[in-house]
Every structure is written in C-alpha cells, then in structure tokens.
Structure 1
Amino acid sequence: MSTGRLAGRYSLQRPLGAGGMGKVWLARDEMLDRDVAVKELTLPEGMSPKERADSVKRAVREAQATARLRHSGIVALHDVLVEYERPWLVMELLRGRTLADTIREFGPMPPDYAARIGADVLEALSVAHAQGMQHRDVKPGNVFLTESGRVVLTDFGIARQEGQATLTEQGLMIGSPGFIAPERLDGHPGGPASDLWSLGATLYTAVTGTAAYAGSAAQRVRDTMTQPPPVAPGPLGPLINAMMAHHPETRPDPRVVIPALRQVAAGGPLPHVPAGQEMTVPSPVRKRGRAALWIAAAAALVVAVAAGGFFVLRSMDGGVPTAFTVPMDVCTLISQEDVGLLLRTQSPPKGQRGSDDEGPKCSWPISQSGVGLQVQKDSDTVDPWSMTPVSARTLFQGQKRYWTRYDQLDWKWPEIGVKDSMKSKRTPVRELSGVGEEAFALELAGPSGRVHSAYVYYRLANLVVRVEYSTVADRPTDEDIKQSALKAAQASEQALRNAA
C-alpha cells in the first residue's frame, strides 16, 4: 500500500525503511497527536495459510516480547494490530541513525564511545534476559543512536522467550551471519551468552570499522564455527575477544562486562575480566523491575524506609543506593527548617506540589523569593522512579546540552511576584562538585546584570534532581544566591541518602 489509515487513528505518512522482515513507516497517531513508527510485516505472495498464520504469530510474539520490556535502551511498543491481512506494530519514533550507518559514514569509533554504547546495550539485554528472553539478532543495524543521546536496541521481532516454541524449526537460521554465536550455528537454542557474543561482534565492528568475519554468508558462518575470533586493537580488544569466546561457559559474566565497559567509557584502563561461568537467567529475586541495575549489585537487599515512604535497592557496603524505585513525596526532600533558613524567614511556607511532563515538583514561594525542586524523568519513562542510572545519565547530559543552547530567555515566577516575563541572560554552565554523583550549575541574570536565579542539576543513582533558588530582593548578593541553590541541592541529596 502507499498511504492510508490504520485502526482509524494511525495515518501513514511515508516509508522510513525496509528490510527482510517488512517496511517501517512514519505515521501520525491522530488520537494522541504524536508521530510514531509503524512496522508493516510484509507477507510474500503465494504463502500457504500455515505460513501466513506463522508470520502473524511471529508479529504477535514480537508485540508480547517487546511490550513487557521497559527500559530506555529498548524501543517502546505502543500498539499491535492486524489490518489488510497483515500485522502492524506501532512503536516509538526514534530520531537519529543506526550504529551501522554511523560506522559506514564516519569509520571506526573511539574506544570510549564504543564502550559506552556496549554498556548501554548490555544493560538493555540484561533486562530482557531477566525476563527469560534473548534478542538473537544483536548487530550494528539493530543498535540505534538517537539525537538525544540514547542508545536503543531495536527489532525484538525475532526475540525468543525461554520455553516458547521457535517458529524456525524447519531449518531457517534466525539472525545475521557474522553476528550469530557459534552454538546457535551448531543448532543449539542459545541463551544470554549468545547475545553477549553477538554484542562482542558488534563492538568489534564499532572499533575496527569492519566485521569480525567477512565474505559471503556461507563463509562467515564457516569462519565463525572454525576460526578463533580476531583481536581488535586498542583497550577494548581483550574484552571483545573474551565476549566472543567460542564456548558460552568461557565468556565473561555481564555483571563484570558492564562495569568494565563503563570504566573504559570514562577514560580508564580496561580492568581484568575473568572468564565467567555459564550465564543463565537470574534468579527470581533478581527479576524485579530494572533487572540490569539490580544484577549489577553483587550483594543487595531491599530496604523499606518508613519515614521516606519508598523502597530503594541498597548495596551492603552502605554506599549510594543503586536505584530509588517507588515514588515519594518530593516536598519532603527539603525540610521546613531548611526552607526557612534559605528564604530567611521564621514562617517558612508549606511546599506546593505540582507535576508536568518533566516530573513531580515542589515549590516554596514567598514574596520576592522562592525555592523550587523537581525530580525529573525523560519522555519515555512513566515516572522518575522508573528511570535507570543509564537513562538518568542520558537525561542529565541532555539537560546540560539544553542549557548550553540558550543564552537569552524569558523568566517569570508569579508566586513570588514576578508575573511578567523578565529578559534574562544565562551564565556559563559549569561542572559542580559536592552534590550527587555528578552535577552542574548555572545562573540567570536580569537586565541590570544582577543574578536573580541559580539552578543546580544533580544525579544520584537513577534520579535527576533540579533545584532552583530565585529572589528579586535587593539584599542577597550574586554569591548568596548561588550558595542558596547549592545548599538547597545538598539538603535534598542528604534527605535521599538518609532515607536510603
């Protein structure tokens, strides 16, 4: 078909791409007024009724598989339907390019950049593995790099759930030659270790610009089965080689690979990565939400905190919580006593709760001055407590990039008496220490050049917190305003740490 409407709400605009599994369309969800990607599963002419039914079953399986996986590194599935006698999958629209296209255009990637991509993909895979699923087609073409900085694993259409009969029992090999693990080529169903092998092959391509095994499809299959994996140059070479070990039981554990990749991504050396034991789906206690984070905690427990009213996963050594997982009242993050000290009043206001697309927030305004706090989320996440450290880092960096784009902007805060927009100039965005695991700060100055607002953004585990202190009173100096915002941020961070 050329263009049309599906389910009375999805208006197909134009094709975005096509492959062996079908065609992807840019579409408009007219009910929710947003752009989406719609995958059309094309069915060849002359298919038997059984073959057609199997294809539809495969699409439904993709929907069932993907819909259960909630992670910033996994493309979100919105809807599935069958029209014009074939299945359609409605997914989030990703803007950017695939890893394959990036390598093709720019050549080999720096090791730190490739390492960050690998860690993000492996965390997404760990979420799928924790639910008993394997991707089975990890390759550069199925790793998407969005304009906002997300690394997204796409095309779970050939994902396989443990215990579910495969649709390829008649000899069809699922995957892409050169990126299929040896044990799967040998007829075994594979598992998480097979996806790890495929990710290793993907990273080899990222850092070298070429595939680990080249030639025809038959030659790639033969070499994968008979030849040792080549060693990539640079700091990632030994790790990639270990990930591509011929026997699954000799490949390293993802819980070791992820921090090793993160260390290289941060500019550090590659730590020693021992060969792992055979990787299996984590035990049920590790299957709870955002499993990639929880698996990474070698020894962890869930602690209920009555005072804070939420749960966190905390490492046994008492360090920073791995993840805050249940919503809490953000107005409790700054005490009334601290609000009074910040606003220099003996009658501090009660927090005013609110929420917008960026997350729940609280403000404490009085005449001419106010403190504000928001626990933020990205557009792909239901609430901040569904974020992961990976998605939180991406959001944090995105906020930093956002502020660097705008030197001038309009500012107002009616609750403190600034009802008309004030032309304001942004001060340089600067890194900040002493709050969170990472932080940055900036100020806004009015037409007179005097600072009226100071902002601090910080990340703690999977939370990104924005803190604002504003005043149009004459007495506080620019430095006073900066310090007030920092003190408010530190108070909120301490409240989180104390609750944990």
Structure 2
Amino acid sequence: MGTEGENVRVIAGRYRLHERIGRGGMGVVWRATDELLGRQVAVKELTLDPSLSADEARNQRERTLREARAVARLHHPHIVVVHDVVVHDERPYIVMELIDGGSLADRVADRGPVDAREAARIGIGLLGALRRAHDAGVLHRDLKPANVLIESGTDRVVLTDFGIAQVAGATTLTENGSFVGSPEYTAPERMSGVRTGPESDLWSLGALLCAVLSGKSPFRRDSLGGILHAVVVDEIRPPAQAGPILPVVRGLLERDPQRRLDAAEAERLLREFLETGRTPRVPAVHPPTQRDLPRRALSLPLRTGPGTAAARDAAGWPVRRPGRGAVVAAALVAAMAGAGVSAAALLMRHGDGGVAPATTAPPHPSAGSGTPGPSTPGSRPGPTVTVTRTAPSAPPAGRTAPAGYRTVRDPQGFSLAVPADFTRSPQGERIFYLSPDPDQTFRLGIRLADPDPGGPLAVLRRSAAEGPSTNPGYRDGTVTGTSHRGYPAALWEFSRRGFTTAEGPRHTYDLCWQEGGRLYEVWLSAPVGKVAKAKEYFDVAVGTFTPG
C-alpha cells in the first residue's frame, strides 16, 4: 500500500498521491493528480478497523463504497464534488474535487470569529447543501467547522467529509457499532440512539454557527462526560455574538427534534437578516424552544419525550410516566458506552473530578444560612441573573391531589400533595418529604420563615451567591423574579456535583414567595437523569401548597 513517508504512489493505476493535506478520524486526505484527465484532485484514503475479520472488513468496505457512491450523486455548489470511488490493495479511496482553501475551523483559528453577516452567509450555504443531501436521503452526521471548506478567492462555502454519512435504509458508513462523530456538534437524540434524521444535522449547524461567531462550540467542556452533560442536560447559552441571528440559533439548538427549526425556515430567516440587517422574528406559530419552557410557566405541560405532550388525568394533572429524564439518561449511557467509557464514572467526575465529603442529611439551600443545598454535579460557578416571568398559578378550588399522590397536612401548618410513597423527615426549620429508596433520589423540601425585607428575590439571590461554597460543583445558577398566586416570588435553578460519589450529579428547582405575612420556600432536588419526573413533583407540590 505504501507508507506516509513515500513521496508519491499511484492508486487504481490513475491517481498519483503527493503530500498529505488533511487527516481525520475516518482517514487521510492527499493532494493528488488524476493522470488520466490531467487535473488536480483530493483523494481520501479511508481507514479500516484492523481488528475486523476478513468477512467483516469486506462488508465494511462494501458499505463504504455503496454509500460513498450515493454521496457522489449529490450535486450542489456547496457540496464537494466526488469524482470517483475506487479500491486499491483492498482499501477504499474517495476521489474529490480539490478545493484551494482551508477549513472554516482554520479560518476562525487564524483570523478570529466571524461577524453575524458572515455567519449568516455561511449558514445559508450550508443549509442549501443539507437540504440537497436530505432530499436525496443522505445525512451528513458530522457537520462541524473542520468539515467546511472556504475556497480562496471566491469565499465559496463547501461542505465536505461525508465520511460518516448515512444513507436512508443503509447501515452507517464505516461504523462498527460504536459512537461516531464529534460530540460537541452532535444532537442529543443521536447520542441517545433514539433517532437520527435531518433535524440532527440542523442541530449541528446551530452549534457550528455559535462556534464561528464566538470561537468555540457552546458545548465545549474539559472532558467527554462534560460535553455529553452539556448537550443533553445543561441550559443552552448561545454566545452574545449570536444576538443578531439569535432566533435562528435558538431554533436550531432546540433539544426536541420535532420542535427544531427546519432548514427552509432557518434559511428564510438568515436571508431576511442579510437583506434588512435586523434580527429576524420567528412567526408566532413557531413553538417556543424547550429552553424557554421552564421559566415561562412552571405549570406548563410536562414533556415526556421528543415531540409529545404529557398525558394528564381527568383533573388535568400530569400522569407519572418515564419522561425526558429517561431520554437524558439513555443518551449519556449510550454515547459513553459507544466511546468505551462508563457513563456513571464520567458523570460523577464531571467538572473538577473531586468528591465532597459525605453528608448524612439531604442538603438544601436556606436563605443566608450557608447550609448546603440540593442540586447537581458540575464544575465552575454559574452566573446569577434576574428576569421577570410567571410562576405556577394556584390550582382551581376543589382540585384534589393527582393520581399517585396524597395530600399531607403537615404539623408545621401547611398542606400539599406529595407522591404517595414519600416519607416525612423534619430537619430543624426545614421539612423534607423523601422518596423511599435508600439513596433518597427525590428530596422535596419546605421551609417557613418570617418575611424578608428584601423579599423572595433577595432571599434567593443570597442563597445563589453562597452556592459555590455550599454546593460542590455549583453551576448554571439562575435566579428569576416572578410571582406565585399573585404574591411576589422568585425561582432559583441550579446544578451541583453529588456530595458523595454514589449520589452523582443533581439538579434543583426552588420557589420562594411571601404570602399572608410569612415566607415560604419549596424546592425539589433530583438526579440530572430524572429531571422530568422531578419537575412534575415540583409542579404538583407548589401548585397544591396551602398555608395554614
């Protein structure tokens, strides 16, 4: 076959390889000469897994050739032209047009991030390429700046490296039962193995736009576990530079693929921005992105899976079913398993990798107390911000606890609905209702106190300020000014690392309000993989809470 050190070698009796011009996870790209037609080309030498048996290697080679030929049928000005697909010494090669220019990743690294107009131009070109590929039943599955070329002299945007593309109805190209792709740019549904469709490429485009605008992917972290957590769990925070095209970026980075902005609408909005210079407005009929839902109204229907509204009983309460938490957990396990890594080990070591000393009491943040609070794993402290939103409204008069819950009248002078199997555990001024499992997976806490002069917002701001010192791996903390049943309120959400290795990462919802001369605080802490069920428990608790 020849070695990398050889100056030239000829494959298929026609293509003379010269210097290597690129290397990726799927192979090596050479500058070459097509001696038959006398033109310069790029030749990609695909790597085969040396551990495969002869039959497995042959099947993989045949799949590679079949799907590469399908990609070769794609003709679009923003898709690299594939001239030929050949086999030499039992190794497949793809012969492509030679683009005189570097990758988009190199451009950003050398010259810095691009402005919003250039990002929109790049986005329009890539959307056209993706629409053409998707119409032909071809998914790219590895869209990232390194796989986009910018032609010198023309600035033409060219999508290349369909090395792990997938053709509808075919087995994944060069895939051997493991996760392939670039995690920072991979859609959450692909990580979970639930589905892969055109929407997954559009998520990758959203991450790419953020990267070229700011210099890095919004999901970049220091470890694979951190990246996976960011993609499927963390709040998505587009960079400030994305402001002029923010509706497009947010629409593409919608975790629910059925609610994700489609290619035609994304292209229309980007063209509108280029023509007017104004931030495009998404039509009112376009559904809000998932990241907007938690802070719009806590009583909004709980989503139990991609594209599905939560089932509810006759009284309107959500039915307890496996929800997004199960999808999140599946995503982390599937993706990490495909990478040959223990999901539990990575998640528990997410962030700085440390483990806090064990604690015997379920922790929770109380106003100004410095007491550890419930939450999830993490790394760096997150910022505290304040906006105004709407909290859950009180349940209609006469509404009873939903199925699977019971109404408790606590000795401390309040009542609320909790899951039927939760048990009461008073701890000083805080009252906990805990799930019955040994790890106390779900921890519902209640605190009653005298009114605070600064109101609920000041209470939770103080707790959030102490978050990094009271919660190991505190991150993504947000304090939101709101109202509850017409009373001033505040909502605090954050994540932390577990206080023990076994506890693992957790997330907390915390609502504080003042009513009838008293301050009330209700919170729910749960593992990040069970946030959907935690959100249900939290909504029911605050929706049925009755003082006195």
Task: Report the TM-score range of the alignment, normalised by the length of the smaller protein.
Answer: 0.5 to 0.7
Instruction: Please list every run of 5 or more consecutive structure 2 residues that lacks an aligned counterpart in the other structure.
Output: 288-548
How many angstroms does 1:222 deviate by?
1.9
The structure 1 residue matched to 2:226, chosen from 219, 227, 230, is 219
Mapped contact 2:202–2:262 kept (Cα < 8 A): no
Distance 2:70 2:56 in 1: 21
C-alpha deviations, 1:13-40, integer Å up to 9, x for none? 1111112211111111111111000111
The answer to whether residue 181 in structure 2 is matched with residue 205 in structure 1 is no
Distance 2:78 2:176 in 1: 32
How many angstroms does 1:238 deviate by?
2.8
| Letter of the structure 1 residue corresponding to residue 266 of structure 2 | V
The structure 2 residue matched to 1:273, chosen from 256, 259, 282, is 282
Larger Rg: 2
Distance 2:278 2:70 in 1: 37
Say which SS state the counterpart of residue 90 (structure 1) adopts: strand
The answer to whether residue 105 in structure 2 is matched with residue 96 in structure 1 is no
1:195 counterpart residue number: 201
| Letter of the structure 2 residue corresponding to residue 226 of structure 1 | V
Task: Tell me which of the two structures has the higher relative contact order, counting C-alpha pairs closer than 8 angstroms and 6 or more residues apart.
Answer: 2
Mapped contact 2:163–2:174 kept (Cα < 8 A): no
Distance 1:83 1:170 in 2: 21
Mapped contact 1:62–1:156 kept (Cα < 8 A): no
Mapped contact 1:112–1:266 kept (Cα < 8 A): no
C-alpha deviations, 1:367-388, integer Å up to 9, x for none? xxxxxxxxxxxxxxxxxxxxxx
Alpha-carbon spacing, 1:251–1:46, altered in 2? closer, same or farther (3 Å): closer
Say which SS state the counterpart of residue 158 (structure 1) adopts: coil
C-alpha deviations, 1:418-453, integer Å up to 9, x for none? xxxxxxxxxxxxxxxxxxxxxxxxxxxxxxxxxxxx
1:232 counterpart residue number: 239
Q: TM-score scaled to structure 2, two decimals? A: 0.48
How many angstroms does 1:168 deviate by?
7.6
**Map 1:450-489 → 2, pairs under 5 A:** none
Distance 2:64 2:193 in 1: 23
C-alpha deviations, 1:150-180, integer Å up to 9, x for none? 1011011211122223368864112100111
| Letter of the structure 2 residue corresponding to residue 235 of structure 1 | P
Mapped contact 2:60–2:174 kept (Cα < 8 A): no
The answer to whether residue 130 in structure 2 is matched with residue 125 in structure 1 is yes
C-alpha deviations, 1:235-280, integer Å up to 9, x for none? 0223201110110111122211102112323452122124758xxx
How many angstroms does 1:46 deviate by?
4.3
1:19 counterpart residue number: 24
Distance 1:170 1:36 in 2: 29
Distance 2:277 2:227 in 1: 33
Say which SS state the counterpart of residue 218 (structure 1) adopts: helix
Distance 2:46 2:174 in 1: 17
Mapped contact 2:31–2:42 kept (Cα < 8 A): yes
Q: TM-score scaled to structure 1, two decimals? A: 0.53
The answer to whether residue 258 in structure 2 is matched with residue 252 in structure 1 is no
Mapped contact 2:185–2:204 kept (Cα < 8 A): yes
Alpha-carbon spacing, 1:152–1:276, altered in 2? closer, same or farther (3 Å): farther
Distance 2:184 2:13 in 1: 42
2:118 counterpart residue number: 113
Alpha-carbon spacing, 1:249–1:71, altered in 2? closer, same or farther (3 Å): same
1:325 counterpart residue number: none
Distance 2:51 2:259 in 1: 45
| Letter of the structure 2 residue corresponding to residue 218 of structure 1 | G
Say which SS state the counterpart of residue 96 (structure 1) adopts: coil
Distance 1:254 1:46 in 2: 39
| Letter of the structure 1 residue corresponding to residue 272 of structure 2 | Q
2:339 counterpart residue number: none
C-alpha deviations, 1:377-428, integer Å up to 9, x for none? xxxxxxxxxxxxxxxxxxxxxxxxxxxxxxxxxxxxxxxxxxxxxxxxxxxx
2:190 counterpart residue number: 184
Distance 2:174 2:39 in 1: 36
Q: Which has the higher strand share?
A: 1
Say which SS state the counterpart of residue 172 (structure 1) adopts: coil
| Letter of the structure 2 residue corresponding to residue 154 of structure 1 | T
2:35 counterpart residue number: 30
Distance 1:168 1:40 in 2: 12
Instruction: Please list every run of 5 or more consecutive structure 1 residues that lacks an aligned counterpart in the other structure.
Output: 278-500
| Letter of the structure 1 residue corresponding to residue 31 of structure 2 | L
1:480 counterpart residue number: none
| Letter of the structure 2 residue corresponding to residue 159 of structure 1 | A
Distance 1:237 1:45 in 2: 45
Say which SS state the counterpart of residue 198 (structure 1) adopts: helix
Say which SS state the counterpart of residue 18 (structure 1) adopts: strand
Mapped contact 2:63–2:174 kept (Cα < 8 A): no
What is the root-mean-square deviation in Å for CA atoms of aligned residues?
1.9
2:272 counterpart residue number: 263
Distance 1:130 1:58 in 2: 21
Distance 2:286 2:57 in 1: 42
Alpha-carbon spacing, 1:82–1:73, altered in 2? closer, same or farther (3 Å): same
Alpha-carbon spacing, 1:166–1:117, altered in 2? closer, same or farther (3 Å): same
195-204 vs 54-63, which moves further: 54-63
How many angstroms does 1:50 deviate by?
3.6
Mapped contact 1:142–1:155 kept (Cα < 8 A): yes
| Letter of the structure 2 residue corresponding to residue 243 of structure 1 | L
Q: Matched residues, percent identical? A: 44
**Map 1:417-428 → 2, pairs under 5 A:** none
Distance 1:249 1:43 in 2: 35
How many angstroms does 1:205 deviate by?
0.3
The structure 1 residue matched to 2:167, chosen from 161, 179, 186, is 161
